Structure 1
């Protein structure tokens, strides 16, 4: 982006003459045709309801917020929509800090008229409790760089931000059912705004020569033009608003020609906005799915580890019990056999001799199962009882 000095908006006589002469030959200083738009770029931020639009050298950022307020008495079932603009000296040296000037007020009114008068946003859906609480939607437009035609760029930024904004879901509760509960995004999915259509602002610049009409004027062309007209239309060629900001008079035939061209441009810009919003929603949904997948995998992994650990502990407990039970059994039975050791030793000797006779051969094993000890002890008890 080429730098601009503080006095570049004050063009010299030769520069003005050069621009006017080029327009008479259907040429513009940036190489475009009279009815060609500059390159349009739409980007979205991390949060819902933020959009950044770049139209040539013009750079505008839009941000949408909402809060619960009391409705107007004459419209108790409708929410509100308001537009606020901020002109920073960083965008253009001619902008002064402090209170908004005439240009900022005019920009906000043109965009506000196109959105509210056409009822593009369904304000009745913003009602939470009739006569008590409604959503007040606020659109803040920040001018980051003034390269000309701020109205069109700011209008696109406002529409893109409104299309991606999501408000928290509300429900009524309490004993009387009049208590409003605002659910956070972690509990319930936020709800998008209901936008019926997209009113697109298309600006035309008129010069001293009545036949010289261009669309999307640049910063230099605005310094030379004699008049300007902004037509707001949707993709269906419905005229939402028209503003003729002073200057030279324009013939009716020229205005009708501008409206036909504006209808075509509105359709093209609407398609670009919808495609950008659709790609943003797709990416947002994919990120949400990835986040849930990662969380669920962590939870399932912990469950598997815990299951294995519990299984290991259970097996260990069983093995310990299998070792402890025979020892306890032998100890109890040995206490009962203290007074009759002779008979038990004799029976044990006879049993060992019988096993020795049946021994054929093979590898010796000195391991004696604890269950074998219990069997021997039980046999000794039977011998004592029979004796």
Structure 2
């Protein structure tokens, strides 16, 4: 059987300049390629910016991104698109598609006549991919990952564009059932809605000796809590700090490490000082994926105090290292935390509720080996098989159309 030719399309894909950006999209593709049944090229557009001067921060990284590169044996093109200030949200699908059009044609001219466009993140990426699919007369799948369906549809015009793209797609994929329930609720054909959860790399994320990791990282705490993600309100690091303050009243040895960077950093630091736990909170900034393994292994509990999540990879990564989780009971999270050895779900997004759940988890006894065994049920194999079945079916249908 000839290999399937897949064009992966997303602004969420790592580059040599931003190696951790969208790593979950690359991971799913790499796992798919291991099947030996697929050839892939990636188009990962980046916003156009004129200067590589570091003082421009992330914008400079856009400018420094190479036009084309090889990553882990995958050919990745990074065409530029115009992201306009203020009106960017509604214009992005069109500017994204226009910016990528020449790159798609280039791949076709080079002989990569792909069978399907596999787009990730419904808006703007999925809508742009739907335009490209229409222009090049190719079938399309779009994967929903979280805020693209649980937040963005609050805006009427983006919602209409998402609806159009979903109608254009031969298949929609959700990383959790809750996301496909959104499209089902809008009246989309259930036969074209598929749940293919993210897996976890069980070789990369594995238990390391907890005491050794604490010594190496220079951390201590009883319990040692971890909160990982961008420093934005939605991720709830402020709730984690409030939970620490609650715990510390009776357990002065409690400590919290927050891994991530973002706009809330100053506010989080101020909150820790106001609650009297500044000496118990450590903000590490952003860390590479490879370093997270050590932090997960060092911690007693991972906290995920989010208000919205599709399928949070950090939960499985932590569990694969033997560390249970306490997480808000929202969206796809109950599909990840579905057994006692995985951790606890919290109905109320408050420091007091999280502190109580941490206490309950520890009182019940933490079996790190059992947590790891639970995570081993989330390998990538089922997702890879599901993708192959879907792509083959789409190719076959297009052939007979």
**TM-score of the pair, normalised by structure 1:** 0.21
Larger radius of gyration: 1
* Higher-strand-fraction structure: 1
